[in-house]
């Protein structure tokens, strides 16, 4: 459906400009416009009509190229067309395109003479700060996060069997929403529940979904919940940043690991859609980052440093869950195409579980728009969304001296049962020892489990 490969030739004015003289439309006349061919465009069947996702992608690509080449006239023309054919309350393809339109407007506002053309185009969208009850309900709407929770919890429960102390280090985008279900399951252990230590990486960046209470307040609620299940829990939050590979967390874990009982305490590293915020491209010299002292360890990417530092802690299990896409290219058009061909999925799925105009739908799509804007409008340290595909993370884990431990049939059955609660388009596939969530056959989220070699 969304595999677009064909692109126009660079002579944009000859191919694109004829459109604009014949598109003097009323904004509400979208249905009429979508049915008409585009004057001046090649007659390739792949281009479709103006409402076709392929054409929308091509317009976004042309607009990005115009902005990058500092051509405000062409950029303004394309932005005008996009503004007419991609309303924020349209179908899923229109809403997706509108999200990219917003991002390109933000990018254009930063660049040379293109700054002037965005004055009359206001497409701001604010992200919502969730209460803990709202966030719990929000996460339950879709398997986007629940898939990773279910797969990870199954692997963790099996790995910590027999341990009297379980230390969970939670690098999670969803503010510990995975933990109550894990506590519920661990409370019924035949030999009795262990002492649970929960360490949370309190990221200093504002990443959606955002919570409206502090981690200290969240920790108190989790401790009380665990107590209601007869599980003793200790909670600790360590302020840290993905920009330096969560070095504060790593350092404190390293110190604590020196006094860790050899066989009495399991160390669980749970990474849920957070590691892709660690820089993947910067090489650094950081003597304070607790790595081994090999000759080349002082110069590396933060992602490699983080994984090697985790390996040095000799964890019982590491679970890595993330979105299966690639947003790492330094080329804007490559990133735009990759993001467009992945982020159609949440817009497509939202129509199956949230009514048009609902508050939850606005919150859901505002978070997607935040992601799109970060991928498209920003560069350098401001560009935080740097997804890597599963294959790249698998290679990184192997390079850090981990081996895959996979998921048992019981864990996979739990995931399948969870997916049965959601729309028919969701699916599960096995990829070697890993599991992958799919939507209409397209990879969405992967889950992997690892142990030290």
pLDDT single digits (tens) 155-165? 999 999 999 99
Residue 198's domain comprises 129-281+298-320+386-406+446-450
pTM above 0.75, yes or no: yes
Shared domain for 168 and 307, answered yes or no, is yes
DSSP annotation of 288 reads: T
Q: Tens digit of pLDDT for each residue in 375-408?
A: 999 999 899 999 999 999 999 999 999 999 999 9
- Domain check: are 197 and 305 in the same one? yes
Could you tell me if 165 and 306 lie in one domain? yes
The share of the chain scoring above pLDDT 90, in percent, equals 71
Task: Compute the half-sphere exposure of residue 287: CA atoms within 13 Å on the CB side of its CA.
Answer: 0
pLDDT beyond 50 at 171? yes
- Same-domain check for residues 170 and 95: no
User: What confidence category does residue 8 fall into, taking pLDDT thresholds of 50, 70 and 90?
Assistant: very low
The reply to whether 186 and 330 lie within a common domain is: no
28, part of any domain: no
Exposure class string for 101-131: b at 16+ Cβ within 10 A, else e: bbbbbbbbbeeeebeebbeebebebeebebe
- 3-state class (DSSP) for residue 135: helix
pLDDT of 139 strictly over 90: yes
The reply to whether 23 falls in a domain is: no
338 and 396 together in one domain? no
**Does residue 424 lie in a domain region?**
no
179 & 268 share domain: yes
Q: What is the domain-level CATH number for residue 392?
A: 3.40.50
Q: Is residue 24 part of a domain?
A: no
Length of the chain measured in residues? 453
Same domain, yes or no: 147 and 199: yes
Tokens of 404: 């895959």
Q: Is residue 146, in this structure, part of any structural domain at all?
A: yes
Q: How many domains does the chain have?
A: 2
pLDDT beyond 70 at 114 = no
Q: What is the pLDDT of residue 21?
A: 37
Q: Are residues 103 and 251 in the same domain?
A: no
Task: Examine residue 414 and state whether it is found in any structural domain, yes or no.
Answer: no
Q: Is residue 391 part of a domain?
A: yes
Q: Mean pLDDT, to the nearest integer, of 55-79? A: 93
Report whether 282 contacts 301 (CB < 8 A).
yes
Residue 241 and residue 153 in one domain: yes
CA distance 350 to 343: 12
For 126-145, what is the mean pLDDT? 93
pLDDT for residue 5 is more than 60: no
What is the band of 189 on the pLDDT scale with cuts at 50, 70, 90? very high
Give the relative orientation of helices 143-159 and 179-186 as an angle to the nearest 10 degrees. Answer: 40
Mean pLDDT for the stretch of residues 94-98: 96
Asked whether 355 and 361 are in contact (CB, 8 A), the reply is yes
Q: Give the DSSP H or E segment for 339.
A: helix 332-350
pLDDT tier, 193 (very low <50, low <70, confident <90, very high otherwise): very high
Q: Are 367 and 420 in contact (CB under 8 A)?
A: no
In a domain, 396, yes or no: yes
pLDDT band at 202 (very low <50, low <70, confident <90, very high): confident
Lowest mean pLDDT among 145-149, 228-232, 289-293, 374-378: 289-293
**Same domain, yes or no: 311 and 174:** yes
Are 368 and 333 in the same domain? Answer: yes
């Amino acid at each position: 459906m969304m595999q677009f490969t064909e692109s126009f030739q660079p002579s944009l004015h000859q191919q694109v400009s004829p459109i604009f003289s014949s598109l003097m439309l009323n904004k509400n006349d979208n249905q009429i416009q979508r049915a008409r061919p585009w004057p001046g465009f090649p007659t390739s069947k792949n281009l479709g009509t103006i409402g076709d996702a392929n054409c929308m992608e091509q317009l976004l690509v042309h607009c990005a190229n115009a902005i990058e080449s500092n051509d405000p006239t062409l950029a303004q023309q394309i932005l005008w067309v996009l503004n007419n054919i991609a309303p924020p309350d349209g179908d899923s393809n229109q809403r997706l395109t509108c999200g990219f339109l917003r991002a390109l407007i933000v990018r254009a506002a930063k660049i040379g003479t293109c700054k002037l053309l965005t004055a009359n185009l206001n497409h701001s969208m604010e992200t919502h700060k969730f209460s803990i009850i709202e966030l719990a309900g929000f996460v339950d709407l879709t398997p986007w996060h629940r898939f990773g929770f279910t797969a990870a919890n199954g692997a963790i429960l099996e790995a910590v069997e027999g341990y009297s102390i379980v230390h969970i280090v939670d690098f999670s985008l969803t503010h510990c929403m995975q933990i109550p279900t894990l506590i519920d399951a661990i409370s019924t252990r035949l030999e009795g529940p262990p002492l649970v230590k929960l360490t949370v990486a309190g990221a200093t960046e504002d990443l959606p979904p955002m919570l409206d209470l502090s981690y200290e307040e969240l920790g108190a609620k989790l401790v009380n919940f665990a107590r209601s299940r007869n599980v003793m829990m200790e909670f600790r939050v360590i302020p840290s940043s993905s920009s330096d590979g969560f070095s504060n967390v790593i350092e404190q874990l390293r110190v604590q690991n020196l006094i860790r009982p050899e066989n009495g305490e399991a160390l669980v590293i749970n990474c849920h859609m957070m590691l892709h915020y660690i820089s993947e491209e910067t090489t650094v010299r950081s003597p304070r980052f607790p790595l081994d002292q090999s000759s080349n360890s002082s110069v590396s990417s933060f992602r490699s440093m983080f994984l090697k530092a985790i390996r040095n802690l000799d964890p019982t299990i590491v679970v890595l869950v993330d979105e299966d896409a690639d947003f790492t290219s330094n080329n804007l058009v490559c990133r735009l195409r990759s993001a467009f061909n992945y982020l159609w999925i949440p817009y497509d799925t939202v129509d199956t579980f949230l009514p048009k105009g609902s508050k939850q739908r606005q919150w859901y799509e505002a978070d997607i728009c935040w992601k799109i804007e970060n991928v498209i409008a920003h560069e350098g340290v401001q560009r935080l969304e740097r997804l890597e595909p599963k294959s790249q993370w698998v290679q990184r884990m192997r390079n850090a001296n981990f081996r895959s431990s996979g998921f048992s049939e019981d864990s996979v059955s739990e995931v399948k049962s969870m997916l049965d609660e959601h729309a028919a388009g969701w699916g599960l596939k096995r990829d070697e020892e890993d599991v992958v969530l799919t939507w209409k056959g397209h990879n969405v989220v992967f889950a992997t489990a690892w142990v030290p070699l």
